[in-house]
Structure 1
């Protein structure tokens, strides 16, 4: 499988080594589609070195089985049902003979409690994270194990395929005593394979106790234990910062959950002190995303990686208020104070002298020089704004009192708008917060419709850290929409100081979230089309914006909301009755009271759930099913109409979903009441695929089980009013135009170049006149283009979306170019 990685890397290297091709000048157009005019007399905003960065969260097996180079899954036998209901201490292992996991007084240490006991002859085999360990012929792999034994019989360590074909000469290890000691050896691969298995076997009688069974490639990124190809892909982006370790991973376990048998905390918030020191002393933990995290990749490694790639570290600490669909806040002042002190200790760990308590710990780990931490984020996507902000202020006050130069970053909740967003922004402005973290994942159309989002932000208010964003799919059109939006981030660099696409990594066999920037399996990795786009922007930033204006254009106007009407649920059982669609003058377009005992006029769109007509109502009874959408056969073509119905939740986690304006299974609106574990309501819009939803309206909301609600949706063209039990619940107007053309011009002072960046997300070329005013440029420039089919993707087998760099001629202070359909173009022009 490594052949694909080698081919791609070789192609890129070959492109870099060749002379630049020469692109002919574009023919002049009497009437260009667009004109970009540079205001050469104006001074634009400065762009900092930290404008673009990366956000690392252990989601999609990004750490264990990903960036952390350990090849053995569940190396310390700590997996259990707290991590995942299907887990046990032997998850990831197959055993022969008597092999059991034990948690007793013979354990390795109190934080690494479970170990493997082999009563000989016996053994275990591990296949790693992707159904096989990947090894390359001639490469070295370092094995280690902590062991004790009451027998003098040796352990045999072997590396082979599933059918027993050897991949390396075996190791023989003699465990010398019944006291825990670390034993190590090296395996040299004799064959290349991505389907290896590591086996450890005791051949004689007696009892062997094993823990921390590890196999590491000798070759890691800068020798610091990270998988080389993945780390190199991140380094190639030249990020200005690394935000870590999450995300939802940080703030969703702010309270300890104790194992009843041992009174040992099994599921707890991410706490940095758990992740430092010798790896055998680090406690593993349940991961919010449904698996176990070993903490082999911990805070020391995050700081070290940031330093290795020249990026500023940006740790995020829990504020003890949950988010990500949960609503809890600590009521324990002592616990809150302990986390605040932990944050102060973290700053000392990063920056303190070797004579300080935590600086000494850092030095013992191999880094006496401070890491130079300048920023700390407090919390992530909290749904309880009052409780969160009260805690944030306590963190900020304590940090500023001891470390006044540290930037303390707040946040605005989980959405790009709504009640929580507005509340937190108001609080942050009033409190003089330095920087606010915004997060949103929206459809590509949202990004094309909101290019002016930050134009109206207060220039004297808190700065924006766009800590997580992405267009919700992995096609090239999504990348084009993101690129158009990135031009607005740069144009507003006086407000938007940092931005990071998210998430960073995804293991193709273990995915909890899409889309993702970099994909991988056990032996190869590839960048999505958005990776190529981000790389183009991140390596061509410039240091100052050059103000511009654009004239002309081909915008897409909004259309009235028409289409079928539907019903749906999400992990909820519900009853729907007396559905009617009428015009404002009373004409009936659709009516169904289900009293005839059938639902002949309805059909499934999602194909999930259990729908039936029961007692004169249409019911869905599967409380585990998500997105159970059914739709009426009648399509609503009127532009003004009213939908009314009765809805009753009978069981489950959430509330109701009332779809309308349904075009197909991937294009619709729905009114989501009692969503996000019955904590929020929203109007969501799907565009192109069911995964690509954006929120047009959001507010706190819940529904009561067995209470019947009268719901009404009034549609007037693009404007919608939502009424529950006679009271207006909310309204919105989906009237934004879609702008497929975007641009920004920046200056690279050090290189003496202008960088003209043009995004054409339409399916037709854009003939564009560029007027640089009084700025003189060389007649020859360098042009890099990312172009292709908007429906294309980069995959493991092929990466068709790649940048192409050419030399362009015929440039002057005014010139015209034709920018290809579905493209992003970067022109680097030498100034005279």
Structure 2
């Protein structure tokens, strides 16, 4: 997952898929998708020709603990902060008692607090709850704590069983009675209470089960102790008995089932940014560091012995869902497990390389041990640990990724090579996957690919999050990749929103992935899960709260493709949409990101020399339009200064949105802050613009970014950084669709934005099991696509099966309203050639017997 700064959360709705120059302006129905005059196309299938085979694992899922996807999400534990390990290192609002409060029954009194001392449960589970009991109150009195669960509370369902467990010790010779109750937030009982007697002053695990007698989404779990003395409690846990596949320490059933319904070919885990961010050091008590990279050995064995960690995305992660559970989940879904280990070069905006050879050697050995854990016999060192957890047979690991989105390609590849050589020497059948950085192009991408290609790496992981426009423009991205070079693992991609228009653009792109299945062997949309109450990132495939889960429009699209892949591509050809090319038009703008900067002497002139704008700010800033909440702009010392170093995207604009073929010149000086300058051109509005981002991404590189309906894509970039206090001369030249950029009089770069955003895309595959051609057609425009289809041979049946996804471009799925859902029907096919009209804003899969 890229650093959040790279792709900020969208605030501008995606209104349309295409620029107005591509198709005629549509008319819009009030309650349905846009409509316009039908456009004629042709689609010809060549069943006698041979296309690339499609592997069983082509489409998979990428799981990262982002958006609270694990604890409070896929991991079925209902108790939040069950081991009292929450800390400010995880989140400034956290404490060891987060989600806990004191509770008293029948007048019981005492004190409750967390302790980290020599009486702890174990070295990796350091804090516990100490209850000092006064013995006060009526008969049956008790004092203890209540847990509020995640978000609104614990969700309990009538008639379902729940397994409680706790580790406890007591200094009372006769033992201490623990009473466990489940109630709603207003005190209504949800189940008969459990009564457990803790005996002895040594840590012992106690368990019990209750059945919910009513349903509630605001449940609270209370544990109280009676009598006097001191009771120590840790790992207070409540699990639904009905987990996915009925597994103990298991997965939330609805989320796991929705994931499994995709029929994924692989499961990539555990990230993402959590893989390679933070310290790479091992856990060392007592001076252990919370913010550590995800290290697999921390996540196996008894859950009470697994440490916690500070999640990169700003919360606590318990590792209750660890490597063993990931392998088990992949196996349960029939998917290939694809773990990713840290390469000792941090990514996601941190950009640091570890130079400690002993530390590198330890991580290489850890990776070899991981393969033994997955594949070794039950009597091997690490295979025995897998067997002890309940899986004597090997998991059958075949692929392993090293690193994630590193921005230092040479440093990364040097360390990757150490991992690769060690793995291939001992396990030559394992495919070691490299990566190409956080973006689809640019200097890091090019250098990383060169290194991977020159070294003969088998597979390279690409990641990119771009606008729907980019996905429509780049269907042919892999057409020109070297067929003899490394294969592509498209490990993360999405078009930056969960509207149906985004899903359509992704579908258009996916037809190109399938057409190039001999190059793109693996692909996974990202991320998989998001808690609607607390998400750090969007878009996401599956959304959930404590009670419900629902697939986004993108989920429905991915499911349609993943459930109808086919075994081989059947070559086909289709006509394209007539398009016109209009020049780049728009006003100009100035902006900053977490930086204070001064701008002066703004000049905009037409290609014919005419003066469009001239401002040296001696008369104030009346020519500029500011939006509320976008920084602090004022004229200071004859320059236009944005002074708020915390403000992001502070865009101010000037000029006419109809301007074209012009030159913009401005002097810029960085005064303070993290980055450099943002100089905008072609500005339609804040969600539709180009800007030259000089000294972006923490002042590590520079790029021109194009934003369409709030979603960005990179047009060109290099490694330029910006110095504080130095004045720069910036010049942007716009001619038609070509842009040339000059920095201090030197040409910095150029690009031509002329790729057609083709809305009509298709691919055909053959399903060997059913003997069917699968004709997949995307029509991402406001016009119906009236299409003459030539199958190349007479079909065996006159009836074709159709599955269609159609909705308004800005339709979204919610917990209450599933606007995007597949519709099944049949189609009469008379002969080899026939005409079918594909609806506007739709994807259609036709299954036709050969």
Q: Does 1:71 align with 2:78?
A: yes
Instruction: Tell me how far apart the structure 1 counterparts of residues 329 and 669 of structure 2 sit (CA, whole Å).
Output: 52
Matching of residues 153-168 of structure 1 within 5 Å: 153-168=176-191
What's the counterpart of residue 571 of structure 2? 547
Contact 2:589 2:653 in 1 (8 A): yes
Describe the SS at the equivalent of 2:413.
helix
Go from structure 1 to structure 2 and tell me whether the alpha carbon gap of 1:146 and 1:817 turns closer, same or farther (over 3 Å shift): same
- Structure 1 residue 777: Cα displacement: 3.2
Contact 1:607 1:629 in 2 (8 A): no
Structure 1 counterpart of 2:273, from 229, 240, 248: 248
What's the counterpart of residue 110 of structure 1? 123
What's the counterpart of residue 802 of structure 2? 783
* Gapped regions of structure 1 (runs ≥ 5): 1-30
Describe the SS at the equivalent of 1:212.
strand
- Over the aligned positions, Cα root-mean-square deviation in angstroms equals 1.6
Q: Does 1:726 align with 2:745?
A: yes
Go from structure 1 to structure 2 and tell me whether the alpha carbon gap of 1:32 and 1:268 turns closer, same or farther (over 3 Å shift): closer
- Structure 1 residue 700: Cα displacement: 2.3
Deviations along 1:622-663, whole A, 9 cap, x unmatched?
Answer: 22222122212x215332111111222222222221122111
Deviates more, 1:126-135 or 1:603-612: 603-612
* Gapped regions of structure 2 (runs ≥ 5): 1-37, 104-109, 135-142
TM-score, with normalisation over the residues of structure 2? 0.92
TM-score, with normalisation over the residues of structure 1? 0.94
Go from structure 1 to structure 2 and tell me whether the alpha carbon gap of 1:606 and 1:734 turns closer, same or farther (over 3 Å shift): farther
Q: Does 1:443 align with 2:443?
A: no
Structure 2 counterpart of 1:603, from 619, 625, 630: 625
Structure 1 counterpart of 2:616, from 593, 614, 625: 593
Instruction: Tell me how far apart the structure 1 counterparts of residues 115 and 694 of structure 2 sit (CA, whole Å).
Output: 47
- Structure 1 residue 590: Cα displacement: 1.1
- Structure 1 residue 671: Cα displacement: 1.0
What's the counterpart of residue 133 of structure 1? 154
Describe the SS at the equivalent of 1:349.
helix
Deviations along 1:268-293, whole A, 9 cap, x unmatched?
Answer: 11000000000000011011111111
Q: Does 1:612 align with 2:634?
A: yes
Structure 2 counterpart of 1:822, from 832, 836, 841: 841
Matching of residues 694-705 of structure 1 within 5 Å: 694-705=713-724
Structure 2 counterpart of 1:185, from 208, 221, 224: 208
What's the counterpart of residue 56 of structure 2? 49
Contact 2:499 2:809 in 1 (8 A): yes
Deviations along 1:39-79, whole A, 9 cap, x unmatched?
Answer: 22211100000110000000001111110000111111111
Instruction: Tell me how far apart the structure 2 counterparts of residues 582 and 438 of structure 1 sit (CA, whole Å).
Output: 41
What's the counterpart of residue 756 of structure 2? 737
Instruction: Tell me how far apart the structure 2 counterparts of residues 404 and 176 of structure 1 sit (CA, whole Å).
Output: 53
What's the counterpart of residue 8 of structure 1? none
Contact 2:586 2:660 in 1 (8 A): no
- Structure 1 residue 394: Cα displacement: 1.1
Deviations along 1:665-693, whole A, 9 cap, x unmatched?
Answer: 2111111112111112111111112xx11
Deviates more, 1:31-40 or 1:241-250: 31-40
Instruction: Tell me how far apart the structure 2 counterparts of residues 228 and 258 of structure 1 sit (CA, whole Å).
Output: 32
What's the counterpart of residue 65 of structure 2? 58
Q: Does 1:353 align with 2:377?
A: yes
Describe the SS at the equivalent of 1:373.
coil
- Structure 1 residue 32: Cα displacement: 7.3
Deviates more, 1:725-734 or 1:424-433: 725-734
Structure 1 counterpart of 2:668, from 639, 643, 647: 647
- Structure 1 residue 346: Cα displacement: 0.4
Contact 2:39 2:784 in 1 (8 A): no
What's the counterpart of residue 731 of structure 2? 712
Describe the SS at the equivalent of 1:305.
helix
What's the counterpart of residue 86 of structure 1? 93
Contact 1:555 1:738 in 2 (8 A): no
Structure 2 counterpart of 1:33, from 31, 35, 40: 40
Contact 2:279 2:291 in 1 (8 A): no
Deviations along 1:229-272, whole A, 9 cap, x unmatched?
Answer: 0000011000000000001110112434999x941121111000
- Structure 1 residue 532: Cα displacement: 0.5
Deviations along 1:676-715, whole A, 9 cap, x unmatched?
Answer: 11112111111112xx111112222321222222211111
Describe the SS at the equivalent of 2:656.
strand
What's the counterpart of residue 483 of structure 2? 459
Instruction: Tell me how far apart the structure 1 counterparts of residues 604 and 281 of structure 2 sit (CA, whole Å).
Output: 50
Instruction: Tell me how far apart the structure 2 counterparts of residues 87 and 186 of structure 1 sit (CA, whole Å).
Output: 30
Matching of residues 628-667 of structure 1 within 5 Å: 628-632=650-654, 634-635=655-656, 637-667=658-688
Go from structure 1 to structure 2 and tell me whether the alpha carbon gap of 1:443 and 1:572 turns closer, same or farther (over 3 Å shift): same
Contact 2:176 2:199 in 1 (8 A): no
Contact 1:37 1:772 in 2 (8 A): yes
- Structure 1 residue 608: Cα displacement: 2.6
Describe the SS at the equivalent of 2:290.
strand
Q: Does 1:197 align with 2:220?
A: yes
Go from structure 1 to structure 2 and tell me whether the alpha carbon gap of 1:555 and 1:500 turns closer, same or farther (over 3 Å shift): farther
Instruction: Tell me how far apart the structure 1 counterparts of residues 222 and 675 of structure 2 sit (CA, whole Å).
Output: 46
Structure 2 counterpart of 1:488, from 506, 512, 522: 512
Describe the SS at the equivalent of 2:741.
strand
Alignment size in residue pairs: 795
What's the counterpart of residue 421 of structure 1? 445
Structure 2 counterpart of 1:266, from 268, 271, 290: 290
Instruction: Tell me how far apart the structure 1 counterparts of residues 631 and 153 of structure 2 sit (CA, whole Å).
Output: 36
Structure 2 counterpart of 1:100, from 113, 129, 133: 113
Deviates more, 1:698-707 or 1:104-113: 698-707
Go from structure 1 to structure 2 and tell me whether the alpha carbon gap of 1:46 and 1:209 turns closer, same or farther (over 3 Å shift): same
- Structure 1 residue 99: Cα displacement: 1.8
What's the counterpart of residue 603 of structure 2? 580
Structure 2 counterpart of 1:409, from 433, 441, 445: 433
What's the counterpart of residue 782 of structure 2? 763
Instruction: Tell me how far apart the structure 2 counterparts of residues 700 and 101 of structure 1 sit (CA, whole Å).
Output: 49
Describe the SS at the equivalent of 2:377.
coil
Contact 1:649 1:656 in 2 (8 A): yes
Instruction: Tell me how far apart the structure 1 counterparts of residues 698 and 179 of structure 2 sit (CA, whole Å).
Output: 50
